[in-house]
Copies of this chain bind each other. A is one copy, B any other.
Amino acid sequence: MPARPALLALDWGTSSLRASLLDAAGHVLDSRHRPWGLLHLPEGGFPAALQGIAGDWLTATPGLPLIASGMVGSAQGWREAPYVPVPADAQSVAAGLLRFEALPDTWLHIVPGVRRNGAWPDVMRGEETQILGLLARGAQTDMQLVMPGTHSKWVRVAQGRIVDFHTVMTGELFALLRTHSILGRPAREAGGGSPSDEAFDAGVLAVRDGGPSGATALLFSARARVLTGQLPAAHSLDYLSGLLIGEELRSLLPRSGSGPLQLVGDAMLCARYRRALAAFGRDAQVHGEDAATAGLWQIARRAGLCRGEGLNA
């Protein structure tokens, strides 16, 4: 007898939507991926996207519980799920689920983001679910995570709880500078060359070894080094990437303890961060970015959503 679906888990971000059908033990029965992130919803918006990716599953399993995490719960999302404060764990995140009728007779639970208050407030939305998934998979309960991306997150986990974090806009800044600034022009004119580890390392080392502190004062060196012949135009974006990632490390490594770092994210990006971390004398372990489904399962269990879980949990 095929396993019976117990949960529909949705990882719903800015650029994509993944739907996974889980059984009562949390195993993935089926999974689908669509480019229907918040910025690319199909005609009909959120309801149409949900119907489109999982309508047949919902019809086949009446009363199937639904849970979603990511930007779908932001002010720009389907419904805004207010943040829960740090320290945050599966229990407090589950207690903050926002429940609403997403389709007729179909209730969706949206995972809240996590907020840090104080003079330097910060927010995350989606990463908390990935982190809870990593913990459920057996990651250490005390660790320093680095999650590189558009908005990199540096997250400290202690005793299995998210206790502190910082957002660094490295990825967005790189994309802006590459596309719109004078720094991107030489590379745009030179055309795309092959990536240069040498130029990347030069950027990282420039930050590590001196010069004026602070990225706004560093950035112009990506132009000046091209103009003075020290940097080939075709490699200037690799140098810029090294500057920005190096600056991220320079800013946040002093706050991240002394142990190995846990890198979570896109494999190529994690490889660059690992290379830069090595230049700063720090080890890192690389994890995949596919922990969201495991996290959604954990949160749903804590909230008592999963059908038949009493049989397996």
Which residues of A come within 8 Å of B, CB atoms? 75, 115, 117, 119-123, 151, 166-170, 172-173, 176-177, 179-183, 206, 209-217, 219-221, 223-225, 227-228, 230, 244, 247-248, 250-252, 255
Please give the count of copies of this chain that the complex contains: 2
* CA of A182 to CA of B176, assembled, Å: 11
Asked if residues B121 and A224 are in contact (CB atoms below 8 Å), the reply is yes
Q: Which residues of B contact A181 (CB under 8 A)?
A: 169, 172, 176
Asked if residues A220 and B180 are in contact (CB atoms below 8 Å), the reply is no
Q: List 23 A-B contacts (CB under 8 A).
A: A75-B227, A119-B206, A120-B212, A120-B224, A121-B224, A121-B228, A122-B220, A122-B224, A123-B224, A123-B228, A166-B212, A166-B217, A167-B220, A169-B183, A169-B219, A170-B216, A176-B176, A180-B180, A212-B252, A214-B248, A216-B244, A216-B248, A217-B252
Q: Which residues of B contact A247 (CB under 8 A)?
A: 214-216
* CA of A255 to CA of B214, assembled, Å: 13
Asked if residues B168 and A217 are in contact (CB atoms below 8 Å), the reply is yes
| 8 Å CB contact of A212 from B115, B179, B255 | B255
- Report the minimal beta-carbon distance from A213 to chain B, rounded to whole angstroms: 5
**Can you name 9 extra interface pairs (CB under 8 A) apart from A121-B230, A176-B177, A213-B251?**
A120-B212, A120-B224, A123-B228, A166-B220, A167-B224, A168-B216, A212-B252, A215-B216, A216-B251
| 8 Å CB contact of A169 from B216, B227, B250 | B216
* CA of A169 to CA of B219, assembled, Å: 7
- Report the minimal beta-carbon distance from A98 to chain B, rounded to whole angstroms: 16
* CA of A151 to CA of B121, assembled, Å: 30
Q: Which residues of B contact A179 (CB under 8 A)?
A: 180
